[in-house]
Amino acid sequence: MARDSTIKSIAPLAVLTFIAVYNFPIQSEEEKAAMRFTEQSVYYRYCSDVRAAGKAPLRRGQPGYAPHLDRDGDGVACEPYRGY
């Protein structure tokens, strides 16, 4: 009996703790779609544009990455200059 009453008194606290710790912001589908569109719509013509935006280097899969910015095809575009 004592164990059952302990569990019943602790259970609400556990639920509140879970809600407080895992309180993720809820986004509507429209907000998610707008976010995806914004991330995918970034385009840089030159690496100088990427550097000016403070986004260099870009990696394959990141917003703004494009093959024309990746000279050696290693998946990293607009790499830092190498002193030569």
Peptide bond into 25 cis (omega under 30): no
**What pLDDT shows up at residue 28?**
74
- Identify the band that residue 74 occupies on the pLDDT scale cut at 50, 70 and 90: very high
pTM above 0.85, yes or no: no
- Between CA 74 and CA 55 the distance in angstroms is 17
**What pLDDT shows up at residue 84?**
58
**What pLDDT shows up at residue 81?**
80
- Between CA 4 and CA 75 the distance in angstroms is 58
pLDDT digits (tens, 9 = 90+) for 16-64: 555 555 555 676 777 666 666 555 578 999 999 999 999 999 999 999 9
**DSSP secondary structure code for residue 4 in this structure:** H
